[in-house]
Amino acid sequence: MLSNPFYSVEVLYKLLLKENILNGTLEIRLYWAGKGTTAIPKKSIYGPLISAISIYRASPDHGSRISAAVVVGIVVAVAIIIVLIFAIFWWKGCLGKKNSSTKELNNLELQTGIFSIRQIKTATNNFDIVNKIGEGGFGSVYKGELPNGTKIAVKQLSSKSKQGNREFLNEIGMISALQHSCLVKLYGCCVEGDQLFLVYEYMQNNSLAHALFGREENQIKLDWQTRHKICVGIARGLTYLHEESRVKVVHRDIKATNILLDKDLNPKISDFGLAKLDEEDNTHISTRIAGTFGYMAPEYAMYGQLTDKADVYSFGIVALEIVSGRNNTTNRQNEGAFVLLDWARLLREKGDIMEIVDRRLLDSNLKKEEVMVMINVAFLCTNVSPTLRPTMSSVVNMLEGKSIVPKLVSESLNEKKLEALTMYYNQDDQSTTTIMEMPLTASSTSTAQDLYAIHLDSSYFESRN
């Protein structure tokens, strides 16, 4: 501070102050007066005088600093949140899927090829909509062609279905070990990230369901000889699965949509996503119920007891569909559901079983003896008791006339129900609508779909030669 340094205004006073100001302010106070007085100066001398010079250093701002403990706490909290986010994504299957699917695929002993996504895109012209021949719950099916000219069907599975992934791996492992002329051939598969593909041989005439139950303009004319050949072929395929292959297999989902037809209308069993190995040491396999209602054997549908006789039952239903040209279970609004098997049993009791025969066959070279054999075999296969159902090898022999069909036990059924069913099917014949007004894929307890799950109004099939 300066205090009275001047004795005369004419005297020059110098004061040297040495101070480094790095973090503060220098304040110089000026006082308007003379000689430092607080009154009117003598001789009327006025002017600014330095009253004081002060240095104010900035005090440290302790409030803006974060303690080390707080920093550590924040870092730990952020790390925990990140770990939780990754755990949630992993649990939902968004992470690690590629490694998991690829690892499981590598663990399978495959006898098929592995395709790259590039090969798949090239074969299908980058999944061109023109090549799309079907669509189901697992995704879409595309027609394709390999560089060597081989026609293929590419089944693309949805990446969102965990059930689809399990059945994808099951189908690869199962069918790669099975080779038979009556089973659809699996050329290979592709696992690329979350994209899953199965590559099959291409079947020019799609499915048996398409041929029998499709729109009239898209149906394939199947004479009796062709239908008999198809029925025998299905029986041979099941004989291989149950009795002849190295691993005994129960298909679990035999139905018309899973029977594919090649260019010569030869049948091939497809879609092994639900197939189970038959444990021969056990009387039956207790398992979750999966398949299609209307085709499942009673003991399996009600109690989950699975044997190869469940496939025999399903075959019996398909045999009736082949003879009648009708879908086993049909629903109409306000009329409820009618079951083909019930109608067939009622007609048999009344003695009018030939009424069940598809009227489209009446103009063909129909052999009544073979028709009756197929119908009676169907009744044997659909016996309520699984122990009374025949083996598939004996079914082949009966259909080919090498053995006699055992006598059937008569079942007493309701006459009123017969009348209602007969009236229903007679109205159905006179209707101008499609024979089957429900989707080809019937209600199922599983997410399994058909290999060629088709839309019958597909422009592809309308333009098929």
pLDDT digits (tens, 9 = 90+) for 371-421: 999 999 999 999 999 999 999 999 999 999 999 999 876 655 555 555 655
Average pLDDT over residues 68-73: 80
Cβ contact 237:308 at 8 Å: no
pLDDT class for 60, splitting at 50, 70, 90? low
- Tell me, what's the pLDDT at 194? 73
Token pair belonging to 372: 């009756």
Three-class secondary structure of residue 346 per DSSP: helix
Catalytic residue among 253, 271, 311, 450: 253
- The average confidence (pLDDT) of the chain is 75
Average pLDDT over residues 48-74: 67
Number of Cβ within a 10 Å radius of residue 331: 14
143 is annotated as contributing to ligand binding: no
Look at 159-168, 173-182, 297-306 and tell me which has the smallest mean pLDDT.
159-168
**To which H or E segment does residue 100 belong?**
helix 97-107
Higher pLDDT, 155 or 449: 155
Three-class secondary structure of residue 259 per DSSP: strand
State the burial class of residue 122 (Cβ atoms within 10 Å of its Cβ: 0-12, 13-18, 19+). Answer: middle
Q: Per-residue pLDDT for 83 more than 80?
A: yes
Delineate the domains of the chain, giving CATH numbers in brackets.
Answer: 1-60 (no CATH), 96-202 (3.30.200.20), 205-462 (1.10.510.10)
pLDDT tens profile 141-166 = 899 999 999 999 998 876 555 555 66
Average pLDDT over residues 126-130: 92
Tell me if residue 253 is catalytic: yes
Average pLDDT over residues 202-220: 87
pTM of the model: 0.66
